[in-house]
Amino acid sequence: MSVFSYDKNGFLLDGTPFRIISGSIHYFRSCPQRWSDLLRKLKVCGFNTVETYIPWNLHEPHEGDFRFDGLVNLEQFLRLAGAEGLKVILRPAPYICAEWDFGGLPAWLLKDRSMTLRCADPKYLQKVSAYYNVLIPKLVPFQCTNGGPLIACQIENEYGSYGNDKEYLRFLEQTMRSLGLEILLFTSDGPTDMMLTGGTLPDVLKTANFGSRPAEAFQKLREYQTDGPLMCAEYWNGWFDHWGEEHHVRDPRDAVETFREMLDAGASVNFYMFHGGTNFGFMNGANYSDKYEPTITSYDYCAPLTEEGNTTPKYDLLRELLKNYSDTACNLPIREKAPTCGYGKVVLTQKAHLMPQRDRLASVIRSAAPLPMEQYDQSYGAILYRTKVGRYAAPEKLEICGLHDRAHIFVNGRKVGILYRANHESVIEISLPLEENVIDILVENMGRVNYGPRLHDRKGIDGGVRLHYQHLFGWDVWPMEMEDLSRLEFSPAGSQEDGPVFLKGTFTVDQCADTYLRTDSLNHGSVWINGFNLGRYWPKIGPQKTLYLPAPLLKEGENELLILEYDGASNTSVEFVDCPDLG
């Protein structure tokens, strides 16, 4: 048993001064088979603590359906951290931001339009309570007071960047306590007056999040907390990427020098990220300031460990620096650079066009108006809306109100265009020459906003469809979650295929190794390996040109590659190479 606390001078572990030197590793962004290696590299680098978020949307993907296995086996991650002698800081939110879909909140919360998120709305608090009633008891045995590695938990996450509801923050604190958490609780916010005023509680430890100018940030923190530990709970040593922008990098010497400044100031630090990992599946988030900006699949973050977990020059500089500040640096063996393999070209020999397969992907729902995904109990994937209208003598403007996010429009089975929310597109001119015309609108969910005031980001169509000034009613709707693609019927593929289309091929592996799928021959879509959703690709706008495929997702012998290509492929072959290209 241990007691982790603090006094006016800093943190204490069993009454002895203790500086937190922590690194962020998100268990849900890497394969469980790699957790031990990542944690060992953290320890060998000189860190004494690991920090991770807990994503509600993975642990309760459907209301009342709780999961703590496989990729989200949190308890196993905690056991492995403890076995390495690392302390643990958890951030159980309920909101985590993290460039993760909907900031980690489950999409099913959006079905109830009368519910207000991240505040003391009783409806929301009831959902949080039900989640915490399952989650928090799983954490209790891992507390340091019970002989485990867990020393601290965060209340909410950067709440001052969103709201100012002290009743809500107090509710979270009291719920954690009532369910058995007796360890240190803290808040973390940006170092500004508004954020530190809105996101903190007077009797709870305050920490700050930033990536530069630590003296200024700590000075602002001291205005709200005159003594006690100084801590940067998120030191942004790199950054994340959106589709369509340059890949972010940071000079490792600059990142390590800023870290040194914080250590010299006597501060505790959580290095965000130490290992970034991957936004597998449909789990990338998005930002919205002037426009909608979805995050790419890679969460490399220019971190000390690459997406696949290999060390970088930043890692080497950190390890050298921490020899002067840490008593945990050691010479334990670590895995050498993970072997990679370029498995070569894979010909996608089979096809299944999405539109004719709609009834194999979802059951049709009759709906008076086209509603968002969440109203049909859908969270991810795409959604197809179909209606019929009469003949119009001249072309008319079709407007999709509240398009979230990318729509393919078909008239009488022919694709007439694509509208994309990020480009502020919502109107297309169409011709309706038949006595009865079929309009299909296939909307792809590109990732929910994870930060800021536009958090209530419902997907699909969130405002109806108009033809000129006339609202269109009477729709058939197919909510395509794309969790199970086993019912698709395939036929031989040609050398090129119009989208949206599923393309399938197989390749043989003699020895499983990390590899990277080049997506240059494709346009826009998602990839599955042996049924596992690897993530999204969009090479034409970049920056990411390869998708990382971890060795644990492969098997010796035949492997299946399935691609959903929305925009059509002019070359139905792809290639696995032995190095990444993040732009």
If you average pLDDT over residues 14-34, what whole number do you get? 98
Confidence of residue 335 (pLDDT cuts 50, 70, 90): confident
Q: Which alpha helices (H) appear in 52-179, and where do they start and end?
A: 56-59, 74-83, 122-139, 166-178
Block residue for tokens 């033809």: 467
Q: Tell me how far apart the alpha carbons of residues 480 and 464 are, in angstroms, rounded to a whole number.
A: 19
For the domain made up of 344-352+485-577, give the CATH fold. Jelly Rolls (2.60.120)
Q: Can you point out the beta strands (E) in 155-291?
A: 184-189, 205-210, 231-236, 268-275, 286-288
**Residue 334's pLDDT band (cuts 50, 70, 90):** confident
Over range 164-191, report the average pLDDT.
Answer: 98
Q: Provide CATH code, domain 363-480.
A: 2.60.120.260
pLDDT at 513: 97
Angle subtended at Cα 96 by Cα 532 and Cα 121, rounded to the nearest 5 degrees: 120
Share the mean pLDDT of the chain.
97
Mean of pLDDT values over 453-459 = 97
Q: List, for residues 559-569, the tens digit of each pLDDT value.
A: 999 999 999 99
> How much is the CA Rg of the chain, to the nearest whole Å?
25
Given this model, what pLDDT does residue 182 score? 98
The stretch 418-442 carries a mean pLDDT of: 98
Q: Is 436 a catalytic residue?
A: no
Task: Specify whether the CB–CB gap between 105 and 57 falls below 8 A.
Answer: yes
* Encoded tokens for 235: 């030191």
Confidence band of 470 (pLDDT split at 50, 70, 90): very high
Share of the chain above pLDDT 70, in %: 100
Phi, psi of 95 (to 5 degrees): -95, 135
Of the pLDDT bands very low, low, confident and very high (cuts 50, 70, 90), residue 337 is confident
Quick one: pLDDT at residue 450? 98
Measured distance CA(563)–CA(523) in Å, rounded = 11
The pLDDT of residue 390 is above 90: yes
Confidence of residue 23 (pLDDT cuts 50, 70, 90): very high
**Closest Cα partner for 498 from 440, 562, 566?**
566
pTM, two decimal places = 0.97
Residue 29 has phi, psi (to 5 degrees) of: -110, 15
Classify strands 427-430 and 350-353 as parallel, antiparallel or unpaired. Answer: unpaired
Q: What pLDDT, on a 0 to 100 scale, did the predictor assign at position 180?
A: 98
The CATH classification number of 18-322 equals 3.20.20.80
pLDDT at residue 438 greater than cutoff 80: yes
On the question of a common fold for 344-352+485-577 and 363-480, the answer reads yes
Inform me whether the pLDDT recorded for 327 exceeds 80. Answer: no
Average confidence (pLDDT) over 300-322:
97
Q: Where are the domains of the chain?
A: 18-322, 344-352+485-577, 363-480
Q: Is 234 a catalytic residue?
A: yes
Q: Does residue 557 carry a pLDDT above 90? A: yes
Going by pLDDT thresholds of 50, 70 and 90, the confidence category of residue 443 is very high
**In percent, how much of the chain has pLDDT > 90?**
96
Of the candidates 60, 156, 234, 293, the residue annotated as catalytic is: 234
Residue 7 confidence (pLDDT) above 90: yes
What's the confidence (pLDDT) of residue 93?
A: 84
> How many angstroms separate the CA atoms of 238 and 277, rounded?
13
Which helix (H) or strand (E) covers residue 501, if one does? strand 501-509
List 60, 99, 156, 158, catalytic entry: 158
* pLDDT above 80 (res 159): yes
Q: What is the mean pLDDT of residues 272-292?
A: 98
- pLDDT tens-digit series, residues 189-218: 999 999 999 999 999 999 999 999 999 999
- Average pLDDT, stretch 515-542? 97
In the predicted model, what is the mean pLDDT of residues 327-346?
84
pLDDT digits (tens, 9 = 90+) for 357-388: 999 999 999 999 999 999 999 999 999 999 99
> What pLDDT score does 260 carry?
98
Convert the pLDDT of each residue in 30-80 to its tens digit: 999 999 999 999 999 999 999 999 999 999 999 999 999 999 999 999 999
481-524 pLDDT tens trace: 999 999 999 999 998 899 999 999 999 999 999 999 999 999 99
